[in-house]
Amino acid sequence: MLTNVKHKLGKLIANAVLPNGLYCFNYHRIGEASLTEYDPNVFSCDEANFAEHIQYIKKHFTVVTLDDLAEILKGKITDKRYALITFDDGYIDNYSKAFPILLENKISATFFLATNFINNAEIPWWDRIAYLVRHAQVDEIKLNNWPDRITLSKEDVPTSIRKVLDVVKINNGSTIEEILIELHQKLQTPNSKFCDQEPLFMTWDMAREMSAAGMEFGSQTCSHRILSHLSIEEQDYEAKTSKELIEKELNTSIKAFAYPVGGKDSFTEETVKIIKKYYQVSFSFISGINTSKQLNEFSIERISVDSNCNATQLSHKLLKLFLKKLHKSVWK
């Protein structure tokens, strides 16, 4: 009882003090993380909590679309708390689980597609790595150009997967293909054939249905490789080709881009120059609330929704982000 009261009080405080600005809520997968053979860490929440989030966002924010961003980016961001709901990658549960909830609530969201995986049974590199770690026959791993060994735990597989992926994401000494080969060898995973299951990603027909119903789309490259690890020519190809394919398949103009992985080390100034050639806005995975004075239209910050949080926990996360931002501004 006391815990519930504290949670409700915390939620009220959070909603009362949150500043005006652009809040970009970022989701990946919707569903039960415990049921996957791949990366459980990309599951944002289950359907029940997602529905709860949508109700919370509708109540406390003005929900906007990509088309609304043009006006917001002109500086008309000071009078309201705006919410933009985004999804990365293009997983099939975005269509089967999130899309019906969005329709029911008459809410639009933006879905960033990594086009190599749409209409394709290919398993993306991060899920392949997660599968290899999950079925590893060793207790630790160190690749040739890694600085340290990583201890693997059978009792906490999600953490083991996250630790390996964290090193992969910051290490640009090898290609993803080379890393996968070496990981498979050193982890001694007994079966290199990934498990058979339902497709992981949506089809173009699903995306067309969503687009016709008012959902919006953007690009997240073709291969979802980390752009800062690629040559200028490769980055240009990924940005241009993915945009052209989505526009062709959905018969719509694609104006927005999301950097794969999206942390501060995953794209460079050269990357931003390339993105500016093809898109009007781009989104990072850097955590934050966008206010009028600090809004960078080619590195819009987002709020990662994860750990199957409920609406109260999500409001607490927003409050922590605001307090962190406030602390930085005070001590500048």
**Domains plus CATH for the chain?**
2-121+200-330 (3.20.20.370), 125-187 (no CATH)
pLDDT given at position 124: 95
State mean pLDDT over 253-274.
96
Average pLDDT value over all residues in the chain: 90
- Partners of 300 in the β-ladder: 283
**The pTM is what?**
0.93
> What is the predicted pLDDT for the residue at 5?
43
Task: Taking residues 20-38, report their average pLDDT.
Answer: 95
In which element (H, E) is residue 69 found?
Answer: helix 66-73
**pLDDT band (50, 70, 90) for residue 3:** very low
| Sequence-distant (≥ 6) Cβ neighbours of residue 243 within 8 angstroms | 219, 254, 257, 278, 279
pLDDT tens-digit readout, 39-79: 999 999 999 999 999 999 999 999 999 988 877 877 656 67
Q: Phi and psi dihedrals of 228, rounded to 5? A: -65, -15
Predicted local confidence at residue 56, as pLDDT: 96
| CA-CA-CA-CA torsion sign (100, 306, 164, 237) | positive
CA dist., res. 35 & res. 56, Å (int) = 27
Amino acid, single-letter form, for residue 2? L
